[in-house]
Amino acid sequence: DSNLVVRPDVLTPGQNYAFVLTAESSTGAVGFQELLIETNRAPSGGLLTVLPIEGRAIETVFSVSTDGWTDEDQSDGFRYRFGYTLLGNDRYLQDFSPSPTTRAVLPQGPASTDHSYTLHVSILDALGGLSSTSTVVTVLPMEAELTQNSTRRLLSAAENVGDVLQTAQLVD
């Protein structure tokens, strides 16, 4: 048995390709088979919204949502993964899920970037097409007088958001 294997990301999304197999027998008879395919287009056209766009670490619950995505072959709905990039490291707020929204308490941004960093969403369609978009959020340090109550606030905020894993990210 022989298989034709095409490496990932070699074919252009949304393009048509023809694969032709030609064979010749030992008697010189020639035959061929042609297979036409169209590669999957990734979702497109969506936006990422974060409200508020500026807040404070531990104190502010950010609402993150995405909408406006289209995909011509979509039948089963999209899956969304929300995250952020802080100091070159990607962290995830929600792994691939059918929900286009999440709420999060975010860690403070680095002073070197005026406490700003990138929030992003990846959108996956039923056939594996993947797109992403991002926006910048500013997360200031908590107010000094709140620091003594930070553990209580952190646990309360994580409970309000409904995701204890986010607590671990903030304590990290």
Residue by residue, DSSP assigns 101-131 as EEEEE-PPPPGGGTTEEEEEEEEE-TTS-EE
Q: Looking at residue 155, what is its pLDDT? A: 65
| C-alpha distances out from residue 15 to 7, 38, 42, 78, 85, Å | 16, 6, 12, 21, 32
Low-confidence ranges of the chain (pLDDT < 70): 1, 74-76, 144-172
- List the one residue out of 119, 157, 121, 166 whose CA is nearest residue 138: 119
